[in-house]
Copies of this chain bind each other. A is one copy, B any other.
C-alpha cells in the first residue's frame, strides 16, 4: 500500500490529508503512474456538432477527418470517440486524444493538416460545427482512480503503468487528497471564463484552478445478468444525475456536463460511457458529489449492489488546471456549447 501521490511529487505538507495515517481503505484501488519525465499531459476534446439526421453523414465524415489527423506523426498516444445529445438538442461527436507531453502535442497541432484544417474558413460554414477543448494539466494537478490494473482508459492510456494499492480512497475528500498540489494548496479558483471573437469562431479563456472530471463506466465485459443489473438499477440514477447537472448545474458551479457514450466510427454505440464535466473549482465539484441527492442516489445504487458487479469497470480522472493550461474554441456551434454558455464577453475597458 502506498500514497496515491507518487514519491517524486511528495513535498512537506502545509495542509493535512483528510485520512489519518492509520486509515486503511476497505477495498483496493490503483492509480496510473508515469516516469518523472512526464511533467504535463494534454487532453484534447475535439468535437463535431450537428442537428438533424440529414447532417449525420457529414458529421461522421468530419469526425473521421479528425481521427485521421490523430494518425499523423506526433498524434495522441490514445484516443476514444463518443456521442451525446446536448441540452439544446444538438448531436455531438467528440474524439478525445491524450498526449504524454505538450511538446508532442504542439508539434502535432502545428502541422498544416491540423492547424490549417482548424483555421480554414470552410469550418465557419456548412452544416456542422466543430469545437476543441484542450486542457494540459501538470502532473501535480491531476489524479486518476481505477479499481483495476489493465487496459487503463483515458489519461491512464498514456502513462507507464499502475501504482501499488493506494491509501487515499473510499472517503469524501480522497479525490483532493490524491492530487499532489493539495499538499500545500487549496486550489481556490480565480478569474472568470471569458469569450473572445465572433463571426462564428469564439475562443473561450479559462480561469485559474478550473476542475475537469472524466468519470467512466464500462459494462462491455458484463454477462447478461450483470448487464441487466447495471442498465436497470444503476444507469437510470446516473442518467438522472447527469441530466440534472447538464440542465441545472450552472448555479452549483458546473460549467458543462456531458454524459457521453462510446461509439465506433460508424456511430454504433458501445457499452461504455463517461461523464465529462467542467467545474468552477474542485470545491464545487466536491460539494455536488458529496451532498447532492442526485449524485448520492447513484452512489447508493452502486454501493448497495457492488458485490454483484464483477466485470463493471468504473474509473475517473480529475484535473485542476491553471488559466494558461486551457484553450477552448467553438466554430459554427450553438451559443450554449460547452464552456461557451457560461463565458462572459469582456466589456470595453
Contacts and interface: CB of A to CB of B under 8 A. Distances in A.
Contact of A188 (B15, B20, B188, B286): B20
A45 to B, nearest CB: 29
A171 B18 contact: no
Interface string A16-40: 1010101100000000000000000
A15 to B, nearest CB: 5
Contacts of A300: 293, 296-297, 300
Contacts of A303: 291, 293
Rank and list the top 4 A-B pairs by shortest CB-CB distance, nearest first. Answer: A172-B172, A293-B300, A16-B16, A15-B16
A297 B304 CA distance: 11
Interface residues of A, number: 24
Contacts of A297: 300
29 contacts: A15-B16, A16-B16, A18-B18, A18-B173, A20-B186, A20-B188, A20-B283, A22-B188, A23-B283, A170-B291, A171-B286, A171-B287, A171-B290, A171-B291, A172-B172, A172-B173, A172-B290, A172-B291, A173-B173, A290-B290, A291-B303, A293-B300, A293-B303, A293-B304, A296-B296, A296-B299, A296-B300, A297-B300, A300-B300
A123 to B, nearest CB: 41
Interface in A282-310: 283, 286-287, 290-291, 293, 296-297, 299-300, 303-304
Assembly stoichiometry (copies): 2
A204 to B, nearest CB: 25
Contacts of A286: 171
Contacts of A304: 293
A172 B304 CA distance: 20
A130 to B, nearest CB: 38
A303 B300 CA distance: 15
A211 to B, nearest CB: 14
A136 to B, nearest CB: 25
Contacts of A173: 18, 172-173
A290 B16 CA distance: 19
A299 B188 CA distance: 28
A300 B15 CA distance: 31
Contacts of A283: 20, 23
Nearest to A187: B20
Contacts of A186: 20
A287 B296 CA distance: 15
Nearest to A292: B303
Interface in A138-193: 170-173, 186, 188
Contacts of A170: 291
A303 to B, nearest CB: 5
Given A20-B283, A172-B172, 9 more contacts: A16-B16, A20-B186, A22-B188, A170-B291, A171-B287, A172-B173, A172-B291, A293-B304, A296-B300
